[in-house]
Amino acid sequence: MSLNKKRFEELMEELTVDTDTMNEIAADFRYDLRKGLQNPDLSSLRMLKSYVALPDGSETGTFLAVDFGGTNVRVSKVTLKGNGEFSIDGKVAKPLKVDGIYDFIGPDSTAEQMFDFIAGLVDEVVGEDHETPYLLGHTFSFPSEQTDLNNAKLIIWTKEFATKGVEGHVVNDLLQEALVRQGLTNVHPAAVINDTVAVLLAAAYQQPDTYIGSIYATGQNTCYLEPFADRADPAMILNLESGGFMKLVPSPLDVKLDDASEKPGEQRLEKMTSGRYMGELFNLALGELFGEEEKCNYGFTSVDMSAILEDETPDLAKTAALVESKTGHALTQEECALVQRLAKQFVVRSARLVASTFVGIIWQLAGREPIAKQHIAVDGSVYEKMPYVKENLMRALSELLKEDTDKVDTFLQNGGSCLGAAIAAAMSEKN
Ligand code: GLC
């Protein structure tokens, strides 16, 4: 069996994002931002209010932090020491789904089951101490409509989550009820924030000149500090839910993936860029190249794509073994090189699309003024670990920003979700 080379060339073409296209995307993104500030109904960006601005670095105290938004849920005890210093004094992390054992994110699971599991982890972190009062910050990484810092209602699940009884509900109420069932009446949820907001809070706690925070992982999303310069409103971080940005032309492969997803028609940008979907797109592409479209899923993940991209064996033996184990097809070295190029193309496309959205925000923040010197804080496994991501983000930023390139850089804000949740809990005391 050999790979369909003609389809390979077509795919490479369909997955190319050139500079002109990036410029258009950045301009469309900026347009949606502007429209969204007037009325989110006019924009494909949800522009969700967070009811929090940036910390000033003086926040102190010990808080619990829940980080809930990907395959793993993490609970930690964080002590903020001020001046950007902090320590993590306890931490547990568990997957929300273990194949064949339990699944709290599938359509057969309920809100009670899921939040009871999380409350159990909180109990572990406090060492079953049901006396000492704690404020808890909750990083809940899904589109939520907030009325204040502690009240967020899940609008719609993303990232293929499907647990019943959470959409349309106030998530910290569900968490609080589970904490009470666990006997943890001493733990008080005080803040709920998106993970992008958490990353920005964590970054700003430690480093000035950061106004944009982004997650590049299972999901992909960005927030920024909106100064509301021409309104009386105080500055506030807005969670764009940029994964839902729609002004992009999907390739036939993207359409296929969307049709088969939990929420067809939603999250176009995310489905073209994030770790959760890159592996699936790669599966679909290989299915086409092997003429086995009906199989659709060989089980490749973005982690497998990383392994393929990191394969430096002279004859690409690692790639050959991985592809054979998943698809049953033995490839020649030349075919393995094509598979590697294909994986790279998905990654490069993803980075170029994400960079275009960053530039849309930078242009919007600058308005008619020169672009400010700034850092963009990014957290997430794709940004941190996927080969080719960082350099392609920077290359794309420089294609778009041209002589302003030196004013903007991106940096890894590792563990931002947990630190950010603690900072938000601390900030809730000041509100
Ligand atoms: C999805 C969620 C969003 C989150 C992102 C990264 O896009 O909708 O809220 O920030 O994933 O986890």
CB-CB contact of 163 with 103 (8 Å): no
Final residue of a structural domain among 138, 158, 193: 193
Distance 151 CA to ligand 1 centre (A): 18
Distance 369 CA to ligand 1 centre (A): 31
Condensed to tens digits (0 to 9), the pLDDT of residues 296-347 reads 689 999 999 999 999 999 999 999 999 999 999 999 999 999 999 999 999 9
Residue 51, in any domain of the structure: no
User: Are 211 and 158 members of one domain?
Assistant: no
What is the pLDDT averaged over residues 29-58? 95
What is the pLDDT averaged over residues 131-160? 97
Test site for ligand 1: of 221, 263, 273, most ligand atoms within 8 A of the Cβ: 221
Residue 168, in any domain of the structure: yes
CATH of the domain at 69: 3.30.420.40
Q: Which residues contact 159 (CB under 8 A, 6 or more apart)?
A: 69, 70, 142, 218, 219, 270, 274, 276
Condensed to tens digits (0 to 9), the pLDDT of residues 224-273 reads 999 998 777 899 999 999 999 999 999 999 999 999 999 999 999 999 99
Q: Please report the atom of ligand 1 found closest to the CA of residue 70.
A: 12
> Domain of 31?
5-46+206-412
Query: Residue ranges of the alpha helices (H) in 213-332?
Result: 252-259, 268-273, 275-289, 302-309, 317-327
Condensed to tens digits (0 to 9), the pLDDT of residues 359-387 reads 999 999 999 999 999 999 999 999 999 99
Ligand 1 atom 4, closest CA: 141
Final residue of a structural domain among 171, 193, 215: 193
User: Are 262 and 392 members of one domain?
Assistant: yes
User: Are 227 and 113 members of one domain?
Assistant: no
CB-CB contact of 121 with 127 (8 Å): no
Residue 420, in any domain of the structure: no
Condensed to tens digits (0 to 9), the pLDDT of residues 315-324 reads 999 999 999 9
User: Are 120 and 233 members of one domain?
Assistant: no
User: Are 266 and 350 members of one domain?
Assistant: yes
Q: In a 3-state reduction of DSSP, which class is residue 61?
A: strand
Residue 31, in any domain of the structure: yes
Q: How confident is the model at residue 179 (pLDDT cuts 50, 70, 90)?
A: very high
Residue 29's pLDDT is 98
User: Are 148 and 85 members of one domain?
Assistant: yes
User: Are 14 and 95 members of one domain?
Assistant: no
User: Are 82 and 164 members of one domain?
Assistant: yes
Q: Please report the atom of ligand 1 found closest to the CA of residue 196.
A: 10
CATH of the domain at 214: 3.40.367.20
User: Are 23 and 112 members of one domain?
Assistant: no
**Is pLDDT above 80 for 1?**
no
Cα 241 to Cα 238, 252, 270: the distances in Å are 9, 24, 9
Parallel, antiparallel, or unpaired for β 187-193 and 134-140? parallel
Residue 154's pLDDT is 98
User: Are 226 and 176 members of one domain?
Assistant: no
Residue 361's pLDDT is 98
Residues paired with residue 370 on neighbouring β-strands, in sequence order: none
CB-CB contact of 360 with 334 (8 Å): no
Count the Cβ atoms, other than its own, within 10 Å of residue 323.
24
Round to whole Å and give the CA distance between 269 and 357: 10
Residues paired with residue 379 on neighbouring β-strands, in sequence order: 215
| Residue type present at position 424 | A
Count the Cβ atoms, other than its own, within 10 Å of residue 86.
22
Round to whole Å and give the CA distance between 199 and 8: 38
User: Are 321 and 393 members of one domain?
Assistant: yes
Condensed to tens digits (0 to 9), the pLDDT of residues 202-233 reads 999 988 899 999 999 999 999 999 999 877 78
**Is pLDDT above 90 for 294?**
no
- Calculate what percentage of the chain has a pLDDT beyond 90: 93
Residue 172, in any domain of the structure: yes
pTM over 0.85: yes
Residues in the chain: 431
Residue 285, in any domain of the structure: yes
Least confident stretch, 53-62, 289-298, 379-388: 289-298
Residue 89, in any domain of the structure: yes
Distance 212 CA to ligand 1 centre (A): 15
Q: Which residues contact 258 (CB under 8 A, 6 or more apart)?
A: 250, 264, 265, 268, 271
Residues with a CB atom less than 6 Å from ligand 1 = 69, 141-143, 158-159, 194-196, 215, 217, 219, 221, 241, 243, 270
Final residue of a structural domain among 193, 224, 253: 193
User: Are 189 and 222 members of one domain?
Assistant: no
Q: In a 3-state reduction of DSSP, which class is residue 70?
A: coil
User: How many domains does one find in the chain?
Assistant: 2
* CA triple 413-47-234, angle to 5 deg: 80
CB-CB contact of 213 with 199 (8 Å): yes
Q: Please report the atom of ligand 1 found closest to the CA of residue 142.
A: 9
Test site for ligand 1: of 74, 158, 263, most ligand atoms within 8 A of the Cβ: 158
Residue 200, in any domain of the structure: no
Average pLDDT, the chain: 96
